[in-house]
Structure formats: C-alpha cells, structure tokens
Amino acid sequence: MSSNLAERWSELPVLLAGHMLLSLAAILVGLSISLPLGILAASRPRLAAVVLNVASVIQTIPGLALLALMVPLLGGTIGYAPAFLALMLYSILPILRNTIVGLQGLDPVVREAARGIGMTEHERLWQVELPLALPVIVAGLRTAVVWVVGAATLATPVGASSLGNYIFAGLQTRNWLSVLFGCLFAAGLAIALDQIIRLLEVAARDRRRGLAISVGAALLALIVITIAPRFVPASVFRGGGPVAAELDGGHDLADQTIVVGAKAFTEQYILGSLMETRLEAAGARVERLDNLGSTIAFDALRTGEIDVYIDYTGTIWATVMNRPEPINRHAMLAEMTGWLYAEHGILALGGLGFENAYGFAMARDRAEALGVVSLADLADHADGMSVGGDAEVFSRPEWVNTRDQYDLGAMQTRAMDAAFMYGAVRDGQVDMISAYTTDGRIAAFDLLVLADPRSVLPPYDAVILLSPQAAADPALVDVLSGLVGTIDSDAMREANRRVDLDRETPAQAAGWLSGHVASNPGDDQ
C-alpha cells in the first residue's frame, strides 16, 4: 500500500465520523421540523404556499454559499454549528414539499370515508392519511438524505470536518486519490442511507417485522461504527504524536490545546504542519482546522475559535481593513499590525520572510514570442487574450486595478480552481493567469511572472496572526516567534513544489522546511 493510500485510510475514521454526525443530525432535526410543518400546511393552502416558497428560496442558494452565510449569521462561529444549520435548512424542502403533496394528493373518497365513519382528526392523520402518503413522504426523505450527505462535503471550508476535507485538500494539492476517496465515501454513505430508508419503508408497508429489525440493526451498526471515532481519543488514530513531543525538551506549553487554522491551499497546509510540529515540541496538544474559507479563517481567529493561522498583508489590507489603495510593503505591515491589535486585539507576530503575492504569469515561450516581459507590454495584445484565475481574484482590486492601469479591459476572464490554472496556462488553454508567486509550478512549468512597473499589485507578506487569547500567552508567542523571518521565497516555493509536483505530503514538506529553517536561522527581518 502506497503511503498516500495509507495516509488517506488513516484519516477516514475521523472524517467519516464528522460527516455522519453532521448529516444525521441535520436530517433528523430537518425531518422533525418539516414533517409537522408539512402536516400543518397540507390542510392550510395559504400556509403551504408561504412555507414552500421560503423553503424553495433557501434551496436556490448554492450549498457552498448557504454554508458560508451561516458563519456571519452566527456571529463568526465556525465549525459544526453553521454547517449543521445550513444542512438542516437544506434538508427541509424535499421533506416538506413531499409531505404536503402526499397529503393533498390523497383520494378524497378515502378522506371522506375516514371522517364519515367517525375517526377523530388524530385517528385520520395517523391511521389513514400518513400511512397512505408515506411512500411520497419517504421519497422526499430519501431525496433529502442524498442531498445532505452530498452537501456535507461543503462543510470543510466553514471548519467542520467531513469527507469534504479529502476533496478540498486533494484538489489543492492535486492529490486525486484524496479527491476520489472523498467522493467515493460520500457517495457510498448516501447510497447506503438511501437504501436503508427504502428497505425500512418496504418493511413498514408489508408489515415485515423481521426485515424491519434487520435493516434497523444495520442502520444502527452503520451509525455506531462511523461515529465511534468521535468518542475515543484522537491519538488512537494518529500514531502517538504526543509521545514524540514528550521526548523533546521544552514543556512550556504542556497540557495546552492550541488550534491551528489553515486556508485551503498547499502553502497553508505546509505552514500549518510546521507550526503544529513546533507547538507539539513545546508540549502542546495541537488541533488542526484546515481548508477554512479565506474570510472565515479571520473570523474564526477574531472569535478565538482558532488560536493561530497564517495570513497575508495584502489580503488583510483589502478584505478586512477595506483599504482600496496598496502602500509600501513595510508601511503596510506596520500599519496592519497596529490596526489589528487596536481593533481586534489580534497580534501579528511578524513576517515569515516571504511574500505570496498575486503575479500575472504567462508561458515563457509565448511571452517571448510576443515580446512581452511586463504588464505594460500587453495592452496591444489584450483583445482576444484570456486570463485565468481563482474565483475571488477577478472581483479583487488586484485584477481591477491591473486591468484599468494597464488597459487590459479587452481580456476575457476565466475563473477556475487555483489547482488547475498553472497547467492551463502552460498548455495554452488560457494566455495568462493570476499566479501565486510562491507556487512551485511557476519554475517547474517555465512560466514568466510579468513585471509590474506601475506598482499596482499590493505586497503580500506572510504573517503569523494570533487570536487575542493566544496573544496573551507569552510561552505561545515565544514558540511561534521563532519562525519569524526564517522562510524566504525560495524555500517556500521549494516546499510547495515538493507537495504539488513531487506528491510529498504537506507534513513531509513541512519537515523539509523545518530542517531548512534550522540550517538557515533567520535574522534578516
């Protein structure tokens, strides 16, 4: 078994448990809201119209957006709560709609017979109407189950672990085995739950007690087996990380649990791993929360749900401080540091020593053929050219200002996942991309980052950010300060390349980076 496969298997218990707990709770609560509401609305046409419209509107919100919206709605809370809430809302429509349709569609003769022979409202509902509408209601429940189990993979960016971790991390690190793992297990879980419900319905319809018991037992077994890992210590599944820490000298952070956050790309995973190693060496227990959405990570730090993560000056400047115009690199770092501490009590420990900026890159041979070395050379060629980039860059000032300053309005923009854009520009599927300057693929794919003579692109120094509580912990600050100024752009690019191209795990690349840092202690910041 390859180490990649072995590692994916080792992640499975925790991710499957998270996925199951999330989906199951969302469906159960969704069912207990939508079923009574559907019964109530079935005999009240105006209420039915209102609730169905509200549920339909919720349904039209894309899953990822609904999940992300729950974070600010819950005051910046990340993790299980917003994911549960969004999925629960998602499960309501199919059950609600089918309950209403199923009850309204009953044969009027049968409904009148139930009244005519003297059944109470309660008896009519439970003995006649619900049993007859059951197939339609169950069909709605099955739809909800398949939707929710699928959509639960989107819980990863709001900080809830699910099988989506495989997919998001795999996509960013081009680890297709990981993506496949997430898809297969999510699909398998959806199919298993769907079939279990189908068989339970058959058992209820045909009054087959034996079938009901065996299928019920299978469901119970599935639930217990999948969620069990959530109720035993994580170290069982991790192969003794804490023991290694015990052997190390420092115990400054003994018995503390530090939550390390990371956004959803390779560099963040590596730096998360690096901080994890340092903190564990100092005796801390570390929890990792990877794949956080960009603004979600900052919100989580502000509310103290994560203790530390790495962000970039230009990002904070534009999206948190809402400053439209970039300023000098050193001034930005200083002003951001002061602002974060004053406004939120967040401590910016200092730059790691490298910038991961946006840079517009072309395939070198193509750029040379056109005689292009700088963004200023592009205006004449812009018509008919296309530029690829991640979804957010085209609405950010980086692109807007570049386009306006260098007269590139005629270029077509094509949003795609960052994992795909380097290959796309190499293969000529797009003419230019908004690359990240530390990406290992710039050198490996022989891409040319175009010069920015008008200084439109803001600086993006990587900085360690500590939550207000973490900032008040001198031992923690001390441990992480050791990383400040130790990683230059070349080192970061090499670490990224090891993951993206050599298929090392982020932890392995972090190990290399750690060794590199040790041999080149930084003091140049």
Residues forming contacts to another protein in the complex (CB under 8 A) are: 109-110, 112-120, 123, 127-128, 131-132, 205
Q: Which amino acid is at 164?
A: G
C-beta neighbour count of 485 within 10 angstroms: 17
Q: Specify the residue, 126 or 176, whose C-beta has the smaller distance to another protein.
A: 126
Nearer to another protein, 120 or 195 (CB): 120
C-alpha–C-alpha distance, residues 278 and 386, integer Å: 43
DSSP secondary structure string, 363-412?
Answer: EHHHHHHHT--BGGG-GGG-TT-EEEE-TTGGGSHHHHHHHHHTT-TTSE
Nearest distance in Å: CB 107, another protein: 8
For residue 214, the minimal CB distance to another protein (Å) is: 23
Nearer to another protein, 128 or 444 (CB): 128
Q: Are 193 and 223 in contact (CB under 8 A)?
A: no
How remote is the C-alpha of 386 from its chain's centroid?
28
The closest alpha carbon to 195, from 161, 151, 230, 149, belongs to 149
Report the C-alpha gap between 266 and 278 in whole angstroms: 19
Report the residue count for the chain.
Answer: 525
Give the whole-angstrom CA distance, residue 316 versus residue 311.
7
Residue placing its CB nearer to another protein in the complex, 127 or 481: 127
CB of 110 to another protein, least distance (A): 6
Of 237, 88, 59, give the one whose Cα is nearest residue 160. Answer: 88
* Smallest distance from another protein to CB 167, Å: 43
**What residue type is assigned to position 258 of the chain?**
I
* Min dist. Cβ of residue 109 to another protein (A): 6
In this complex, which beta carbon is closest to another protein, that of residue 115 or of residue 238?
115
Residues linked to residue 461 through DSSP beta bridges, in sequence order: 355
Q: Which is nearer to another protein, 123 or 368 (CB)?
A: 123
Give the residue with the Cβ less far from another protein, 108 or 474.
108
- CB of 213 vs another protein, minimal distance in Å: 21
Report in angstroms how near the CB of residue 122 gets to another protein at its nearest.
10
Q: Which is nearer to another protein, 54 or 134 (CB)?
A: 134
Give the rounded distance of the alpha carbon of 90 from its chain centre: 18
Quick check: 217 and 245 in contact, CB under 8 A? Answer: no
- Cα–Cα distance measured from residue 468 to residue 58, given in angstroms and rounded to the nearest whole number: 35
Q: How far is the CB of 120 from another protein (least distance, A)?
A: 5
Q: Which is nearer to another protein, 124 or 366 (CB)?
A: 124
* CA 426 – CA 446 distance, rounded (Å): 8
Task: With H, G, I as helix, E, B as strand and everything else as coil, classify residue 338.
Answer: helix
Q: Mind giving me the DSSP string for 453-487?
A: TT--SPP-EEEEEE-HHHHT-HHHHHHHHTTTT--
With beta carbons less than 8 A apart as the criterion, state whether 149 and 395 touch: no
CB of 114 to another protein, least distance (A): 7
